[in-house]
Structure 1
């Protein structure tokens, strides 16, 4: 067994019970502020920070890629990425430095992976990271491109208006009205010139990306994902869960919404419960296939402290 496979095989997702953790947190007076309703500040008290610029600055600061570890567990959690047929198209939304792209490309040498991010600097690092891995035919299968999917939508070469309407939802209220405002700034532009579009994708991976989007525009972001997914296609979701260790570290002044926080650098993080995830995806038109908490206990190597991590794992399908 390879090192990658061995590490994936050792991954656990049920190290502790989420309900037990919930009771502990909700009975701890020192953490009660996380449970309180959020009172929106007055307009003159609000601090305006552009989330896109904040994430761009974050990625520039961590451009070495050491901040992110390769997510080798993904193939165990989402085996569909290994078993899908030749030529399957996968869209990774919010690819970062390539820590998710690389295990996907390694796990299936027949897929084409389109990967977007809101930072050109990060896309360049991801491309360098993936190319340096010597994965088979990676230069033909990895296609990064710039996109701020939550506010400007996906580019038309990914799914043109005609294709989106033909495999879009029957409810007109579920059709995305996000318009393309940015131009493609990577190799994908010349690659797709002269064709209508690639006809949508078979899979979308949304891994620790939705939580970085302001809560009020999450519905629009998911409808945009829905619009470029082929009928019967599957969206694979993983993100921060309610009462994750990182949520409990935020101070009261860092709350910008209910279960929504902002770091000092302007980047946001939302912590999902299962019902919130379920409602967001169902309202966007998806069918729920799987949804659960992943509860993982790990040890901080520097101080030896136990860390209780909570993530939401989900699979959602577009009706055929």
Structure 2
């Protein structure tokens, strides 16, 4: 990663944090193998979607919404890519990732999906409120839960998904304003896959058993040579350590009081998941950030995982 991103990733040493956590008796329950019990019910994909819809409705104010401008420093490829660059943002939420990317490069079109139609509507409202027509025109939202179903065929048809020598071509795009995926009107079958796919704090919300198939689906949506850009919760992040023992729903997996879930990734787990799906690892590291809680004056140690993975050209 470049010098511009150093501030976001090197405030403290992750190994030192690991030693502290693993030697703290009060935190030992985070390290124990998980034993499922009858008191923890299984949760359907629909319930997961409903929980995230409620989350975004509760936090729909402008005060909560913050653009993730740091992503342009973490992933400079999004700034330098050329005209007609296609990005698929998986789990777009309220648009906090899409908006800075669209601002940062006028050549980019973002196809943004989410498992909640209400959340998609909120993202469109936020983009509209910016008042810049070109941003709205380059934001193409559609409904899809990639953890339970395939991406629509207008992104990459069955033929293109299996074609490792796919050539870049111009295709008709789906309706810009609709939240439902629609087929292109002309004879071309799809847009031919995307140049970039972003997974920004999305994969951690997917139950672990559904993650391998979800990553493989991301692989299929990319053009050969395309990049998957990843950022999510890392092992021993402050948020993980605050979960109580009764909130564990799996090894390194937890459920919040509002029903939303979160998994905390270690580098080896992520590496295995992406390489098994066919990706080539380009970058993978912990981002260790100290931030100040202005309310109580305490320093918070945040751990995220930064990754770049490429779909091979052949």
Normalised by the size of structure 2, how large is the TM-score?
Answer: 0.90
Residue from 178, 184, 188 that aligns with 1:186: 178
Residue from 214, 225, 241 that aligns with 2:207: 214
Identify unmatched segments of 5+ residues in structure 2. 166-175
Residue from 10, 19, 25 that aligns with 1:29: 25
Q: Contact between 2:252 and 2:263, CA under 8 Å: does it hold in 1?
A: yes
RMSD of the TM alignment (CA)? 2.0
Residue from 258, 267, 287 that aligns with 1:265: 258
Structure 2 equivalent of residue 46 of structure 1: 40
Cα shift readout 1:133-160 (whole Å, capped 9, x = no counterpart): 2346123211111111110121111111
The DSSP-based 3-state class of the residue aligned with 1:265 is coil
Structure 1 equivalent of residue 129 of structure 2: 132
4+ runs deviating over 6 angstroms: none
Q: Contact between 1:240 and 1:270, CA under 8 Å: does it hold in 2?
A: yes
Residue from 194, 199, 208 that aligns with 2:192: 199
The DSSP-based 3-state class of the residue aligned with 1:199 is coil
Q: Contact between 2:154 and 2:183, CA under 8 Å: does it hold in 1?
A: no
Q: How far off its partner does 1:126 sit? A: 0.9
Q: Provide the C-alpha distance between the structure 1 equivalents of 2:161 and 2:276, rounded to a whole number of angstroms.
A: 18
Q: Provide the C-alpha distance between the structure 2 equivalents of 1:9 and 1:136, rounded to a whole number of angstroms.
A: 30
Q: Provide the C-alpha distance between the structure 1 equivalents of 2:102 and 2:251, rounded to a whole number of angstroms.
A: 37
Identify unmatched segments of 5+ residues in structure 1. 1-7, 169-183
For the pair 1:282 / 2:269, whether they are aligned, the reply is: no
Of stretches 126-135 and 137-146 in structure 1, the one that deviates more from structure 2 is 126-135
Within 5 Å, give how 1:49-68 maps onto structure 2: 49=43, 50-68=47-65
Q: Contact between 1:236 and 1:314, CA under 8 Å: does it hold in 2?
A: yes
Q: Provide the C-alpha distance between the structure 2 equivalents of 1:188 and 1:86, rounded to a whole number of angstroms.
A: 26
Structure 2 equivalent of residue 19 of structure 1: 15
For the pair 1:79 / 2:76, whether they are aligned, the reply is: yes
Structure 2 equivalent of residue 171 of structure 1: none
Q: Provide the C-alpha distance between the structure 1 equivalents of 2:180 and 2:254, rounded to a whole number of angstroms.
A: 34
For the pair 1:120 / 2:117, whether they are aligned, the reply is: yes
Of stretches 65-74 and 262-271 in structure 1, the one that deviates more from structure 2 is 65-74
Q: Provide the C-alpha distance between the structure 2 equivalents of 1:190 and 1:276, rounded to a whole number of angstroms.
A: 35
Cα shift readout 1:38-91 (whole Å, capped 9, x = no counterpart): 11114xx33233212211222222222533421010000000000111101000
Q: Contact between 1:289 and 1:316, CA under 8 Å: does it hold in 2?
A: yes
Normalised by the size of structure 1, how large is the TM-score?
Answer: 0.88
Q: Contact between 1:293 and 1:313, CA under 8 Å: does it hold in 2?
A: yes
Q: Contact between 1:299 and 1:307, CA under 8 Å: does it hold in 2?
A: yes
Residue from 269, 280, 302 that aligns with 2:295: 302
Provide the aligned length of Structure 1 versus Structure 2: 297
The DSSP-based 3-state class of the residue aligned with 2:130 is coil
Of stretches 187-196 and 134-143 in structure 1, the one that deviates more from structure 2 is 187-196
Q: Provide the C-alpha distance between the structure 1 equivalents of 2:198 and 2:295, rounded to a whole number of angstroms.
A: 32
Cα shift readout 1:98-134 (whole Å, capped 9, x = no counterpart): 1000110011001111111111111111112122223
